A and B are shown apart, each in its own frame.
Chain A
Amino acid sequence: MDRLSLEAPTGEITVFVGPSGCGKTTSLRMINRMIDATEGRILLDGEPVQDIDPPTLRRGIGYVIQQAGLFPHRKILDNVATVPYLLGWDRRKARDRAMELLERVGLDPGLAGRYPFQLSGGQQQRVGVARALAADPPVLLMDEPFSAVDPVVRTSLQDELLRLQSELNKTIVFVTHDIDEAIKLGDQVAVLRVGGKLAQLAAPKTLLSEPADDFVREFLGRDRGIRRLQFVSTEGLRLRTDLPAPEGAGTFVFGTDSLRTALDAALLSPSGTAVAVDERGEVVGVATREALDEALAEAAHG
């Protein structure tokens, strides 16, 4: 770590991303004192973490790691209730809370009596998230939590995290080496370079449109322009309502989905046009190539 200084705003997701050896995990583990910083300060709600006894500090911070790290000898329910038990909660209250969390993270409550080895990797990771949330900590640290599962499961876990976050508004610090994951999940993204130096700290959209230097640009990858479209709304698209919706055309939710989704829908349609639908799936209009082209031109300039 070298003079890394940043703030993870309350109620938002801050993602640390960078190549291996950039110190992103080390930075994360300094927050709950799994590693102690040799110098400098880390403040949690204004209080230096160095002044708090590590176990006490950690019980107040949710912690999710790569392989979930569930206790193999304990049933799922008791795994989730680990921190409440440590905090001396009444056993029944702790178990009720654990049960509630299992449902919250999208797990069948029937799994409560199973052991970790009986669950799939994705399910175990959900249990890991439930366990971290059990004592309702305001802060959540997530260390590459989804990198050991297959891409389909990873996507669903990411969506689930965003859904949970919209309900819970935790202050989350998330570490990943996957820039796409960082862009998808982060309210702000900290790109770190080898040696623990902060290359850029910005909202994903800004990161894609205005990378600070060549390192960030390279790390973002080639199709940065296309990916930026996912932050451009389809609200401004000029829809045609006088055309019939073509057969087999891709659809996007007007105003909710991004321009990237709309473009993707058009590219996959035989007609080359995308059909705009509302939240209920009713057709509201057709986005033609011309309309998309206009929107692209606008996105490129704005």
Chain B
Amino acid sequence: MNWLIDFFGDPARWTGFDGIPVRLLEHLEFSALALALAMLVAVPIGLLIGHTGRGGVLVVVSANLARALPTLGLLVLFVLLLGTASIWPVIIPLVLLAVPPILVNTFEGIRGVDPELRDAAYGMGLRGGQVLGRVLVPVALPLILLGLRLSAIQVVATTTVAAYTGLGGLGRFVIDGFATKDYASVVGGSVLIVLFALVVQIAFTLAQRVTVSPGVSQRLKTR
């Protein structure tokens, strides 16, 4: 408890290039960037493959392979290869980590929509793109968001480890704290990381509430 007061009560912790606000923003920046890039890659591919039904096996196999990759090893490898002059050695492994859950869930979500529904949509005269955009995506949205949330949590957690390579983020407090036996920093940093992850979870829950139709989530009571 004293460590917490030491950590959060020290005004010096709140300013400067290694202060809490800067580290928090760095963490957010790395995580958001990695997630956004992963989304840009995985969502369109997942939608396309789920909609056309072609290449599904490829998705599952490659996603499982990617999951088996040790993230930390990858991180170290990229840093060794590319150096620490830019953030990319960290971002690239994070993206690789984030792609599989988004890809698999988007694909499964679209493919799993009741075939009768797809049939009805085409039968009404919707074109292929309209079937995808107006029917399949809204119905598959809970699964698509689940994929995004899983990836986000992994990315946030792994960004912490990324501090190991010398980059910023909340992980610095923990790693530097251990190195200098500054346990207030270790504990304080951990708490910040937990809070950050919680906020991310809450943000996704709220996003789900707003974007998923009550008709899909069946949130309303049947009267």
Contact = CB atoms under 8 A, between A and B. Distances in A.
Interface stretch (A61-69, A154-162, A246-254): A61-69
Contacts of A56: 125
Given A72-B216, A75-B215, A115-B215, A55 B123 contact: no
Nearest to A87: B125
A261 interface: no
A34 interface: yes
A86 B126 contact: yes
A131 B123 CA distance: 11
Contacts of A68: 120
Contacts of A58: 122-125
A118 interface: yes
Interface in B209-223: 213-216, 218, 220, 222-223
B120 A115 contact: no
Contacts of B130: 86
Interface in B117-140: 117, 119-127, 130, 135, 138-139
Contact of A65 (B120, B135, B220, B222): B120
B215 A63 contact: no
A69 B120 contact: yes
Given A69-B116, A73-B138, A115-B213, A131 B124 contact: yes
20 contacts: A32-B123, A34-B119, A55-B125, A59-B124, A60-B125, A65-B116, A69-B116, A71-B138, A71-B139, A72-B139, A72-B216, A73-B135, A73-B139, A73-B213, A73-B216, A86-B124, A86-B125, A86-B130, A115-B215, A117-B215
Interface of A: 32, 34, 54-60, 63, 65-75, 82-83, 86, 115-118, 131
